[in-house]
Structure formats: C-alpha cells, structure tokens
Structure 1
Amino acid sequence: MDDPRRSADRDLEQARAALERGEVHHAADHLAGAIAHAPTLPEIHELLSRLAAREDGGLELFPLEQHAFVGTVVARAHLLAAAGRPEDGLPLLAAASGHTPGVDWAGVPWVSDPDLGARMDPGLLARIVMQLCTAVGDPAPEAGQAALRPYLTLVRHAVEAHPEHALLLGAGSALARRLGEAPQAVQWAARGARLRPSKLAEIWLGYAYRTAGRIPESLAALRRAVMYDPDDLSVYADIAGTLADHGRMDDALAWIDRALAKNPDDDCAVHTGHRLRYRADGDLAHLVRLADFQRDHIDDTHEHTDLAECCADQPWLSRVPSAPDTPPDPEREPFVAGAPSPAAVERLRRVAHPLWPSPPAAYDAALGLVLVEPEDLLALVAAPPEAPDDEVGRALAAHDPALWSRCAQVWACLGLLHHGTEEPWAESSRRRLLVELATGGLDRITEAALFALVTYAWVDPSARTDVATLVAGRLDEAAATAGLAWSIAHLALATPDMAPAVRERATAIIKAEENYTGPLIPRQRRRVAGRLRRWLSGR
C-alpha cells in the first residue's frame, strides 16, 4: 500500500546491508522485492551487477520454482542477460509482462539492443511474442501499452535481421496491432502472407486489416483462411463478428448458421451466435441459453466474454442500479435479532461490489459467503454495515452514498443461495428465506431478494417458472411505487422465461418513469451513476 519507490528504496537498503554482512541470499530476497516495486530503477540494476559478478553469475540466488515470485523471475532474467544469455532471459521477462502487462518489466537497455534482435532465433522470438499477445489482450489496455513497447522495438530489430521469416512477421503483426500500430501490423502481416501463405498468415492479415479499419480486405483475408481449413469454425465466428460490427447482421448470422450446421456444439460459434442474436432482437432467451451452454461445457477451448459483453452496463444483469431512493417499508416485520458477527461483516465487505460480469458470475462470486451463517446474512440484509474504507468504498460514498447499502443487501441475499444446496429448490430453506424477504414488504430488501431469486433462475433451469411467477407478482404490486417499480421492472426483464406480457408491462413501466421530469429527475441520477460505473469498471 506504500508508494512503490519508497518500498523499493527500503528493500534496496536492506539488500545492501545484507550484502555487506555477506548474507547473499537475504540480499537477493530484498533485491527481488525492490525490482518488483521499481523494475527499472538504476540502483537496483547496479546491485544486480554486483551479484552477476559472482563466479556463478548469481543465478542460484534466484531459483525458478513453482509459483515463483515475479521479482525473482525478473531478476533472474536480467542476470541471464548479464551472463551473455539474453535469449534465455527474455522468455522470463515476457512471462512477467504477461502476468502484469502494465508494469515496465522490459524497459531496460538489453531488451531494446539491436544486437538481441539479430542474435535471437526468430522462431523462438515469434513463439515468445505469441505467448505475450495471448496474455495481454486484444487490444492491450491503453494504460499498459507503453510498458510493452520494448518488445515491439525488439521485433523491429529482429525483422530487420530476418526479413523473410514469416512466423516472426505474423507474430510481430499481432503485437503491433495490440499496441495501436495498425499500419505496421498490416505491413508485416501482408509480407508474411506473401512469403508463406497459410491459414494462420491470413488470420493475422485479416485481424491487422480489421484494426486498420480496412474491412473489405479483412473479410477477404478471413475468407481465404476458411478455404485453408473449412472446419476451423472460430474463423467463421470472427467473420460473423466483423460483419455484425459493420452493420451486416443478416450476413453475420448466415455465417454463424453455416458454422453451427457443421458443429452445433462448437464453443466459438455458439457464443458468437447467441451474442449476435441478442444484439439483433434483444431477446434475453439468447443470453440464458448461452449461460446454459457455458454451464454444460466447462472445458471450452478458450475463455469467452460474449455473455459479459451483452450484460455490460445493464441494470441487474451486470450491476446494482442507481434508482431513486426507496425508504424502508414501515410495515415490514423485523426478521432478525442481534447484529452480524465482525467476521461476517468482513467477509461481506470482501465480496460485495456494485458490478459483476453476469448473473451466473455473481452467483459464483458469492460462494465465499457460504462461510457466513444464514442468521448473519439476514442480519446484514436488515442492517447493512458501513462501507469499507478502501478505494471502492470511498468512490461509492462520493458518488452514490446509498449504493453501498444496496450492494451489501444484494450480496447478503446472494450468499443465502449457497446454504442448504443439497435441498431440492421448491422445499429448500434458501428459497423460503428469500421469498420471505422478497414478499415481506416493498423496499430495497425486496429488490435484493428478488435479484438473488432471479440469479438462481439463471443457474438452475428447474427454478425458472417459479421465479418468473414470483417476480411478475411483485411487479404488479410495486407498479405504483416510484423508483422501486423501475428497479423491479428491470428485474423482470432480467428474469429467465418471463412471460412476454410481463416483459411488455415492465418495459412500459421503465419508459414511463424514465420520461418523468419531476423533482427526482432520473436522467440526472443516471449521469451520476454512469460516471461511477465508468470509474469502477476502469479500475
């Protein structure tokens, strides 16, 4: 939690003292800590050079073990470079960059030295770059791109030395487009595709053209990739996604249908298909079917974010909405006695957050609350604790003070779902408790309990009819309650298998309240909430 430079200086001072005492292993430990805080600090590298001057080069002081500390890995990489083996150190440095891309692990002279690009085996460098690209995202987060640019400089030097190595050109193109260098990405990918035509070369070229905004050329390259391998349905999904992003939804869905006709269980085709169909008609059933597919196919070929993308920024699908405050219902009967334990409060504070990727993801995230007794969870619902004194808690206090207590109630209700899971839903204690909370009044507890019930309907198809009936009933009863009706209407829209007539009624309630221009102007609250969401999601 301290300033990184101060922490690095403290570790560096202890490393020097240990070295003066001849305690080289302690010195190495502190040096690894220092480099983790300030990886390019010259004083650290000066001390590393003293260890490199040892007869063994200091390598045994920084062993590679399972779950090695990142500072140890980076220090070993630098010692390998100092020993004349930079090609052995680079994979370690790249692994650190893949672990934390925003840290300037590679901002050291030996990585950007033109001699390294010339001496490294271009195939090895290409594989290192491909692994790095997989780890840093596409595109790489803007805030972390500067820390990755030394690798792009290295690739440029390597391409100058090996201008006809097609794999290096393709991998370099993938890195360049992740760092916003679209013209360079196109140039390298096009040269690689000419030198050694292949499916992978055309995919790299198609992605480079897409990043550069040259959509016809991108689609042409991806179609050529399909000709190389008609059974790689991930390329069909890429073509469909590109078409959809540029207003050609019918063509996009045609490509998805072609892919699903070949293999209805292909994960890329299924994820993309449900995402695009949801974009086309807004029917929640597509997302529910996607969640069901994810639950039944936990060994997909790679991680997909389609469900989270579709749920993003939608009330209850990905966040606790900021609606006009609803006071506690004076008619609600007290349902707990006593206060929650300090341990329960602490566990809730560690879990509760106003954002989540999707309802199934919220259900999974609440699993940690299985260690909190139901009585404590109910006490947390009845009397939410103060917000934690951390970055998120302070942001909530500044932008939307009421949102924390709503979050706490939501997550406490989600925690109830993880108790008594061996009981059949219809007769379970978790259902009984949540239904009592959802129907015991009309207030913020109502919406928190209803969201937990809706979340359970996402993860257990057998509960969907029951939950849809409960939510529809509460929507009717809350229709005249300003603020709460808007929130419960959004809950109805987030409920699997909700009847079309109820969805239409919920949509009408939302439009009516959002068009209201009375003292509590919803649009003003949404602007405040929007700023808060952008801050939270950008952390």
Structure 2
Amino acid sequence: MSEGRDDPPLSAGEELALARLALGEGDLPHAAGHVAAALAKAPTLPEAHETLARIAATAGGGGVELFALHSHAFVGVVVARAHLLAAAGRPAEGLELLAAATGHERRADWAGVPWVTAPELPQRLDPGLVAKVLMQVCAGVPDPVPRAERAPLSPYLALARNAVAAHPEHGLLLGAASALARRLGEVAVAIRWASRGVRAQPSKLGEVWLGYAYRSAGRTREALAALVRAVDHDPNDLAVYADIAGTLADNGRLDEALEWVDRALARDPAFDCAVHTAHRLRFQRDGDVAHLVALADFVRDHPDDSHEHGDLAECCRSRPWLGQLTPAAGAAVAALRHALTEDPPGLGTTVRLETLEPPSALRTVAAAVPGLRVEVAAVADPDPREPRRATDRPLWRWDGAVAAPTVPAPSAEAADRVRQLAHPAWPHPPAAYDAAVGLATLELSDLLGLLVHPPEAPPTGMGRVLAGQDPSLWVRCVQVWACLGLLHHRTDEAWASSTRRRVLVELVWGVEDWITEAALFALVTAAWVDPSVRPDVAAVVAERLADAAVVARERPVPIAVSLAYLALATPGLDPATAALAGELISGPAPAPRPGPLRRLWARLTRRR
C-alpha cells in the first residue's frame, strides 16, 4: 500500500470539504479520492463515513468501483472499499481489506467502526474466514503488542469474542482468537479459548496456540506439554521443535533444549529455525564465538530463509565489539569524564599522568575541555610515541608529549557521511560491515583524515549527549566507522595484496592508539564476512595481542583489555591467544564508571 498523493497534506476536514464540492459538481472520482484521503487521516471520523455513504448512494451499485485496487493501492482507498463492501452485503471481503490496512499501519484505528464489532456480524460469516482474518491481523503485529498500541486492535478482539460466541465449537476460530487475545494481553482468555479449541478439534496448530498461551502466562510445564502434543500430531513440523527448545532454554534447561534442536537437525540439517536456535543456545552454554560465526555463515549462505531471525543480534547485543564498541580506558579519559561534571568544566584543573597515553585520548581531552591541563610524569618504555612496527604511513607526529596529525583533514562530504553513520552499537559485525558501504566511495585520504580529524558530533540527541557527557565515545565511533569504510575501499583487489588490508594492518601496528582498536575491529569484521581471510586475520590479531601483553609487563597499555575482547570476537582464533585474552580481561578490575556514564552507555548502546 502507499501513503497517498505527493501534494501538500490537507487535514481530514479539508479533504471532506473538497469531497463535498466535487460531489455537488457530480465529479465522483475526485470526491472518492478526497474521502479516501480523509479516511486515511481519520478512519473513524463520522463525517467521513457520512460522505462516503453519500458518494455510494449517488454512484449506484454501492460505489465500490470508485475505489478500485491496484498494485500500490492507497490505504485510504483500501479502507473506503472495505466499508462499501460491508454495506453491500460482502463483509467478509471488507474484513480482509481492513486486516490488510492494519498490516500496513497497525497504530491506526481502521476497524473501529460499528459494523466490525456488531454482535450479529459473525453469524453471517463462515467461521473459517473469521479465523483467517484474525490470523492475518496477528501476522502483522508483535507478540505481545505494546500496551500503548493495543487500542486500535481492540475491534478485532471484539470481533473474535462475537465470533466465538456464534461458533463455540470451531477449533480453528478458537485458536486464532486465542492468538490475538494473547498478543493483546488477554492471556487468561487466550488459554480458555485455545483449550476449548483443542477439545473441540484436536490438532497440531491448536496445541501450538495453547502452548503459546500457557507460555505467555508463565505456565511452562503446561506449555511444554501442549507443544510436545503438537509434535505428536505432526513430527515433521520442525518449527515446533525449535519452539520447545526455546521454551526450555528460557527456563535454564539448555541441555534438554539442545536435545530438541538436535532432533530437528537430524531430520533437516538446514532447517533455519533449528539452525538459528542451535547456534544461539550453544553460544549461551559455552560463550564460544565460533557458534555465532557459524550462524553468520549460515545467514549469508541462506538469504532466502522462511522468515527473519534475531538470534545473531540477540547474542551479540551489548557484548564488546560483537554488538558495540568498548568505552575508552585510561587516566586521561577518566579525568575528562570527571571534568565534564564540573561547572565550568575542568577550569584550572591539572591532571598528572603517570605515563603518556594514546594520542587520540590526549587530543580529545584538549579539544573537549581546553581548561584542563594535562601533565605527563614520564615517557615509559617501550616508548608509546613509536609505532610498534615500522610504517610508511604515520598518522601522528610528536613534539614532546604533544601529538599532532600528519595527514590533512577530511573533506566536508566525508565528515557529513560519517556523521550519518557513526554509532556506538550495531546488531552484529556483518551488519556493521553492510552499513559502512555508505563510505565506500570516499577517498583513502578522507578515511585516514577522519581517524585523526574527527568531525563534531551531529546535532542529534545522540550527538548532544556524547558531546556533553563523554566526547571520547564520539571520537571512537568515527574511528571505528572510518576503518569499516576502509574495508569497502577497492574491493576489486585480492585481499592478500589489497590496499585495504595493507592500510589496516599498518594502522594496527602504528602508534598505540584508539585507531589500533578500530583497525583491528575492521579486520575482525572482514573475517566474519569472508571465510577465506580468517586465517590471515587470526594471525594478525594473535601477533598484536601478544605484543600488547609484552608491553603491558613494562608499562600500562590502556587499549589492552579492548584488544583482548577483539581477540575473543575473532573467527578461528587459536586457543593460546584466546587464553591470553582471558588473562588480560580478568586482570585487575578497573575503577567503576560513574553512575551518569553508566546510564549514558546503556542509553547509547540500546538496540537500534
């Protein structure tokens, strides 16, 4: 369906005024167009329905043909046609159109009209058709529907009540009515209707509806019993196996859940629901990222799954580098966060660092709080101003303890593009890779310039929060997305000798900095989306983490823990490096972040 014309929007009242003018001139097509527009804006407005009735009376034949349906029908036309069909004695067709409108926009009260909720309506309808309409509505709404969005769906629940009263022994109708009641928070009613349905007509689908109703009520034992009976009805419906596994897992019974998943996979190793559930549950059990990588491979190799799954995103959510970047560590950014709580921020305050910290951290502090003075007690060995390996592409030059970029600032276009993309959270690494394609046409000089000349945060809610409470998060966002953009640079080049690999590896081994983390994340992401590069990336990650561990024995390495989390997110990482990563992560616990920062982080990394 479409939203209508491209003309400047008019109110429902203005549309009706134009409809009446057109009607008075005998121009029925224009009158129909305006009343359809009015219904789209105010679907229960009495004046709109009165005008629609006048058009129908004038047109003859019920006026239905004035509201013909096309491939991209305007939703107002669909709704108007539904009401006219009902008035012409064809309410079944009208209900189907209203359900389609609800699927298009569930928050609009398309069905909030007397003929839909009339108690006598179901007596004129085939109960199987009412069940079909209710299932059509259920297919277009979440389970459960948020409380604030339930009111526009209540006419369908009234229809269900009336239909159940008129056809009290129709199993399919009772089950479909139960499914709708469950979604609208009427769980007790859902259980009652589904129970009646399986008694009247035992079936797999009826048991599934009953199991879901019990599950929504927290009655796990009864839910599992119903779902198992559904399997007895149809042992080949593997989706029910996955439902049983999910229910068991939600109640901490992982081993039993995996037994059901394995039963499904034994029947069909490529059944999507079972594959997604299996990898998610195995990751829950042992935390091995290999399960998630295998799931990402399956998703890539099976783009035509029967429906969308959220298992991969669910597992990656809120996990360092799998679903979000890590907050910066170190004394410099800790001082920055504290200074931003003062009024005025950091004025006259001096922060003494034990040793030199990453240049991005020092530059961020200087830019965000100019009144905060930073003094460095010493430059510890190994010298953090030197790249960890020789490079022809240094991004920083040092004048004592002050760092400055060596590359020019990016173009305005590059700055605008990264402002539109940069965010501290993503569903999973392949999704981050796909999102970064918007940076594919940027020049290499622009992408490198973004790393050391991050633009100001955008004037959005997120941007204002970052700028006011922790500017380091925004800088890290820019660096991460710029490096993801590098993954899309000259993708026609073979990986081993490509510009994108060479540049990212140089950044990984450059001066110890936040850019190191961003570049390593880009390489890890490349390994997620391209199995052929996994051995190469795993080797780079292992070497870089080993180097950080060696340096950490001599002096603080603020990025060490983050590098360890990156290692654990790497496909095909060797066991020894994984163990080293665990040791770095489980080292001395950092001081807890201040309460406001913790709340900020939760807000920014909330699911997008």
Q: What's the TM-score bracket when you normalise by the shorter of the two chains?
A: 0.7 to 0.9
Matched to 2:603, the amino acid is R
Q: 1:416 to 1:49 in 2, by over 3 A?
A: farther
453-462 or 291-300, which deviates more: 291-300
Partner of 1:302 in structure 2?
A: 307
Alpha carbon RMSD of aligned pairs, Å? 3.0
Q: Which has the higher helix share?
A: 1
Q: Secondary structure at the match of 1:114?
A: coil
Asked if the contact 2:487/2:522 (under 8 Å) is kept, the reply is yes
Q: 1:14 to 1:235 in 2, by over 3 A?
A: closer
| Residues 1:131 and 2:136 aligned together | yes
Partner of 1:406 in structure 2?
A: 476
1 CA distance for matches of 2:90 and 2:419? 47
Partner of 1:3 in structure 2?
A: none
484-493 or 305-314, which deviates more: 484-493
Q: CA deviation at 1:284?
A: 0.9
Q: 1:47 to 1:160 in 2, by over 3 A?
A: same
Partner of 1:104 in structure 2?
A: 109
Asked if the contact 1:260/1:270 (under 8 Å) is kept, the reply is yes
Q: 1:511 to 1:71 in 2, by over 3 A?
A: farther
344-353 or 495-504, which deviates more: 344-353
Partner of 1:337 in structure 2?
A: 408
1 CA distance for matches of 2:557 and 2:50? 66
Partner of 1:328 in structure 2?
A: 360
Of 168, 179, 186, the residue aligned with 1:174 is 179
| Residues 1:361 and 2:431 aligned together | yes
Q: CA deviation at 1:328?
A: 1.1
Q: CA deviation at 1:25?
A: 5.0
2 CA distance for matches of 1:335 and 1:65? 59
Asked if the contact 1:102/1:143 (under 8 Å) is kept, the reply is no
Q: CA deviation at 1:272?
A: 1.0
CA offsets 1:299-318 (integer angstroms, 9 cap, x no match): 22322221111112212211
Partner of 1:389 in structure 2?
A: 459
Q: Secondary structure at the match of 1:193?
A: helix
Matched to 1:196, the amino acid is Q
Alignment of 1:128-527 (within 5 A): 128-324=133-329, 325=333, 328=360, 331=385, 332-333=395-396, 334=405, 336-342=407-413, 344-394=414-464, 396-397=466-467, 400-478=470-548, 480=552, 483-512=558-587, 515-517=589-591, 521=593, 525-527=597-599
Q: 1:482 to 1:47 in 2, by over 3 A?
A: farther
2 CA distance for matches of 1:261 and 1:51? 61
Q: CA deviation at 1:384?
A: 3.0
Q: CA deviation at 1:500?
A: 2.6
1 CA distance for matches of 2:269 and 2:70? 42
| Residues 1:20 and 2:21 aligned together | yes
473-482 or 200-209, which deviates more: 473-482
Q: 1:128 to 1:437 in 2, by over 3 A?
A: farther
Matched to 1:10, the amino acid is S
Q: 1:161 to 1:259 in 2, by over 3 A?
A: same
CA offsets 1:133-160 (integer angstroms, 9 cap, x no match): 2221322344423332221111111111
Matched to 1:55, the amino acid is A
Q: 1:18 to 1:266 in 2, by over 3 A?
A: closer
Q: CA deviation at 1:58?
A: 4.9
| Residues 1:55 and 2:59 aligned together | yes
Asked if the contact 2:20/2:51 (under 8 Å) is kept, the reply is no
Q: CA deviation at 1:193?
A: 0.9
Partner of 2:390 in structure 1?
A: none
Matched to 1:321, the amino acid is T
Asked if the contact 2:483/2:518 (under 8 Å) is kept, the reply is yes
Q: Secondary structure at the match of 1:221?
A: helix
Partner of 2:604 in structure 1?
A: 532
2 CA distance for matches of 1:59 and 1:335? 71
Q: 1:339 to 1:372 in 2, by over 3 A?
A: closer
Aligned length: 526
Q: Secondary structure at the match of 1:210?
A: helix
Q: 1:58 to 1:249 in 2, by over 3 A?
A: same
Asked if the contact 1:340/1:377 (under 8 Å) is kept, the reply is no
Asked if the contact 1:322/1:525 (under 8 Å) is kept, the reply is no
484-493 or 32-41, which deviates more: 32-41
Asked if the contact 2:32/2:66 (under 8 Å) is kept, the reply is yes
143-152 or 42-51, which deviates more: 42-51
Gaps of 5+ in 2: 1-7, 334-357, 364-384, 386-394, 397-404
84-93 or 267-276, which deviates more: 84-93
Partner of 1:4 in structure 2?
A: none
Q: Secondary structure at the match of 2:239?
A: helix
Asked if the contact 1:87/1:116 (under 8 Å) is kept, the reply is no
Q: 1:501 to 1:104 in 2, by over 3 A?
A: farther
1 CA distance for matches of 2:509 and 2:55? 69
Q: Secondary structure at the match of 1:328?
A: helix
Asked if the contact 1:396/1:404 (under 8 Å) is kept, the reply is yes
1 CA distance for matches of 2:515 and 2:245? 43
Matched to 1:468, the amino acid is A
Asked if the contact 2:324/2:426 (under 8 Å) is kept, the reply is yes
TM value normalised by structure 1: 0.87
Matched to 2:21, the amino acid is E
Q: 1:315 to 1:38 in 2, by over 3 A?
A: farther
Q: CA deviation at 1:83?
A: 4.4
Q: CA deviation at 1:222?
A: 1.3
Q: 1:82 to 1:235 in 2, by over 3 A?
A: same
356-365 or 375-384, which deviates more: 375-384
Q: CA deviation at 1:60?
A: 4.5
Q: CA deviation at 1:460?
A: 0.9
Q: CA deviation at 1:164?
A: 1.3
TM value normalised by structure 2: 0.78
2 CA distance for matches of 1:225 and 1:507? 44
Partner of 1:10 in structure 2?
A: 11
Asked if the contact 1:12/1:30 (under 8 Å) is kept, the reply is no
Asked if the contact 1:12/1:31 (under 8 Å) is kept, the reply is no
Matched to 1:278, the amino acid is F
1 CA distance for matches of 2:474 and 2:259? 45
1 CA distance for matches of 2:468 and 2:152? 32
2 CA distance for matches of 1:83 and 1:400? 63
Q: What is the percent sequence identity of the aligned residues?
A: 60
CA offsets 1:403-442 (integer angstroms, 9 cap, x no match): 3343333223222222322322111122123223333333
Q: 1:225 to 1:338 in 2, by over 3 A?
A: same
Q: CA deviation at 1:117?
A: 3.1
Q: CA deviation at 1:457?
A: 0.7
CA offsets 1:163-198 (integer angstroms, 9 cap, x no match): 111111111111111222211111111111111112
Matched to 1:489, the amino acid is A
Asked if the contact 1:8/1:35 (under 8 Å) is kept, the reply is no
Please identify the structure whose Cα radius of gyration is greater: 2
185-194 or 466-475, which deviates more: 466-475
Q: CA deviation at 1:373?
A: 4.2
Q: CA deviation at 1:28?
A: 5.0
Matched to 2:604, the amino acid is L
2 CA distance for matches of 1:488 and 1:30? 61
2 CA distance for matches of 1:374 and 1:275? 38
| Residues 1:69 and 2:139 aligned together | no
CA offsets 1:338-395 (integer angstroms, 9 cap, x no match): 53243x4444444333332211122222233334444443333343333333455455
Q: Secondary structure at the match of 1:136?
A: coil
